[in-house]
């Protein structure tokens, strides 16, 4: 698997935790088109073809950055025709089809596309050194990987507007306070904490985890009534899972469940 990629590193441990590391530290893990397509391909591969991988952690290599954004040097000469006909950034849409949970372990700058990549993940854990921002406006453009849509859903319109219109960065603590990140942890404990969360999730029933993730994702898109109906159908469908029978039997018999993941 590792050999298939040149700009990211992918490692899958036997406990079901996969780690995808963006590996361009010299450019602060800026997302050029190769990095972007490798992240998407690796996630789709781990999601669909890799039974061992149950949770995917995304992080950046080096001490400074998760990802400092799309690669500005690559974008500088793009024309409107290239962007439009080349469907620039459309590849990220497919990341939404990933059923396994994605955890962003934000180890430093998460700016522009880097912040947007973190927001595509299901849980954001931040190092105390992390900084988040949408500085596209300072480059004469706007966010293009979901920032104007996911940030207001995460932190509310006024705060999102302020960040997107000023281009200012915020620190980890502030990101947690406003609900962008779930937790901030000491820098040298970030991966350990991310592994703990991922490993815990990986002990649960794979289809139940996928259903829970999908329901929460749907809550960001639809009305309350529609979301509640969606949840109810997914909840009812849990009773067609072997894992529901096993999970409840295990509780009643006071023993740990042994999932078949079916």
Residues assigned a catalytic role: 70, 113, 116, 136
Sheet holding 17-22, edge to edge: 8-12, 17-22, 55-60, 102-106, 123-127, 183-185
Nearer to ligand HXC, 51 or 81 (CB): 81
Nearer to ligand HXC, 73 or 177 (CB): 73
Residue 71 is a binding residue for ligand HXC (CB under 6 A): yes
Nearer to ligand HXC, 90 or 158 (CB): 90
Nearer to ligand HXC, 27 or 209 (CB): 27
Q: Which stretch binds ligand HXC (CB under 6 A): 5-13, 68-76, 95-103, 175-183?
A: 68-76
For 149, the token pair is 């849509």
Window 91 to 110, contacts with ligand HXC (CB under 6 A) = 109
Least separation, in Å, of the C-beta of 87 and ligand HXC?
Answer: 13
Residue 139 is a binding residue for ligand HXC (CB under 6 A): yes
Q: Which residue is nearest to ligand HXC (CB)?
A: 112
Query: Quick one: which of 18, 20, 27, 36 contacts ligand HXC (CB under 6 A)?
Result: 27
CA 89 – CA 123 distance, rounded (Å): 22
Please name the residues in contact with 232: beta carbons below 8 A apart, sequence gap of 6 or more. Answer: none
Residue 145 is a binding residue for ligand HXC (CB under 6 A): yes
CA 158 – CA 137 distance, rounded (Å): 16
Cβ count within 10 A of residue 91 = 16
Query: Quick one: which of 38, 47, 136, 193 contacts ligand HXC (CB under 6 A)?
Result: 136
Query: Quick one: which of 19, 112, 127, 130 contacts ligand HXC (CB under 6 A)?
Result: 112
Helix residue spans in the chain (DSSP H): 33-49, 72-75, 80-85, 113-120, 147-155, 157-166, 172-177, 190-202, 206-219, 224-237, 242-252
Residue 113 is a binding residue for ligand HXC (CB under 6 A): yes
Least separation, in Å, of the C-beta of 80 and ligand HXC?
Answer: 13
DSSP conformation letters of 173-236: HHHHHTTSSSEEE-GGGHHHHHHHHHHHHHTS-HHHHHHHHHHHHHHTTS-HHHHHHHHHHHHH
Q: 206-219 and 242-252 helices cross at what angle (nearest 10)?
A: 110
Residue 16 is a binding residue for ligand HXC (CB under 6 A): no
Residue 72 is a binding residue for ligand HXC (CB under 6 A): yes
Point out which residues bind ligand HXC (CB under 6 A): 27-28, 30, 68-73, 75, 89, 109, 111-113, 135-136, 139, 143-145
């Amino acid at each position: 698997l590792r050999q298939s990629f040149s700009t990211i590193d992918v490692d899958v441990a036997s406990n079901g935790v996969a780690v995808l590391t963006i590996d361009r530290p010299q450019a602060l893990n800026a997302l050029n088109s190769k990095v972007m397509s490798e992240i998407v391909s690796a996630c789709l591969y781990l999601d669909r073809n890799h039974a061992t991988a149950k949770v995917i952690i995304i992080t950046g290599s080096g001490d400074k950055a998760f990802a400092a954004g799309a690669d500005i040097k690559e974008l500088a000469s793009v024309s409107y025709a290239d962007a439009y006909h080349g469907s620039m950034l459309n590849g990220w849409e497919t990341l939404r089809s990933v059923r396994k949970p994605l955890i962003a372990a934000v180890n430093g700058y998460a700016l522009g596309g880097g912040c947007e990549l973190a927001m595509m993940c299901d849980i954001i854990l931040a190092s105390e050194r992390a900084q988040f921002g949408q500085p596209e406006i300072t480059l004469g453009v706007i966010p293009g990987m979901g920032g104007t849509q996911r940030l207001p859903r995460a932190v509310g319109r006024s705060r999102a507007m302020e960040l997107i219109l000023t281009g200012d960065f915020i620190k980890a603590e502030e990101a947690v306070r406003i609900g962008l990140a779930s937790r901030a942890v000491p820098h040298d404990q970030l991966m350990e904490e991310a592994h703990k969360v991922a490993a815990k999730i990986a002990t649960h029933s794979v289809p139940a985890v996928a259903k829970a993730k999908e329901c929460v994702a749907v809550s960001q898109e639809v009305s309350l009534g529609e979301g509640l109906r969606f949840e109810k159908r997914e909840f009812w469908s849990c009773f067609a899972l072997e894992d529901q029978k096993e999970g409840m039997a295990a509780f009643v018999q006071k023993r740990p469940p042994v999932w078949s993941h079916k």
